[in-house]
Amino acid sequence: MELDGASILLTGGSRGLGPVIARALLARGGRVTLSARSAEDLEKVKASLDGDRVAIVAGDVSNETDRETMLADAEAAFGPVDILVNNAGIESNLPFPEYTEEEIHGIIAVNLDAAIQMTRLAVPGMLKRGRGHVVNMASLAGKAAVPYNTVYAATKHGLVGFTYSLRAELHGTGVSVSVVCPGYVTDVGMFAEGRIHKEVPRGSGTWTTPARVAAAVVRAIEQDVPDIVVAGFLGQLADVAIAISPRMAGAAARRNRAYRIQELEGKKQAAARRRR
């Protein structure tokens, strides 16, 4: 699908990968509406971008009314939404028994349910016009086992499955769906802020950069790629390894310290919370 002139709604647009993805979409001629909870943060991002082709709408993707407002404001700014990028997400590294019911509901609401619901709102108009594309931002955690971040991983696995299933359903309609699965992203985003990526060995094949993730989003839309794992070669084989032998995949992850790093971070966050 052509990005030049397209009306794009990008959730999670105020921080992390959001502004980086927005710049890449703008560079291809898109007109982008950014959504996030903080109007102040959105204003700062807009000021750093091409203001003539950027609109903002503050709201919480886990709120039904806010989701409807996001879509309506995006269409008021740049016309019917051609492309939806479901980028909003949260994570929390903890030993599984440490999660509260409320925390689990919150992570699922933002990472999985909101993406499904935003897609539900946007797709009917796309189908009516016979053109459109949805990009779901998942994670390498949606292709592999990620201990001590189990709820986040579950939502990303769900997002991958949702993408595959909806893509099959929409085949031949002019509307399509892709999923982008980054590994540990340097410089910006939740893993960079949590400094986890700095402890993961480069040889693990799980590293990537914001620029590569943004380029993957553009490629997914323009070339209608079903899914893109933005990581090294070993990371790209994660789901294949698990499909062949979960036991062997787990053994390999333990050898390269991937599981150990998640364990240390999970226990660290749990201890910090207990001290508060």
User: For the CA atoms of 50, 52, 58, 62, what is the dihedral angle to 10 degrees?
Assistant: -80
Distance CA 258, CA 26 (A): 35
Could you say which of 99, 148, 152, 184 is catalytic?
A: 152
* Cβ partners under 8 Å of residue 31, min gap 6: 5, 6, 7, 8, 53, 54, 55, 77, 78
Distance CA(248)–CA(63), nearest Å, equals 41
| Mode of pairing for the β-strands spanning 54-58 and 31-36 | parallel
Q: Is position 164 annotated as part of the catalytic site?
A: no
End-to-end CA distance of the chain, in Å?
Answer: 49
Report d(CA 141, CA 187) in Å as an integer: 19
Q: Are 81 and 74 in contact (CB under 8 A)?
A: yes
Active site residues: 152
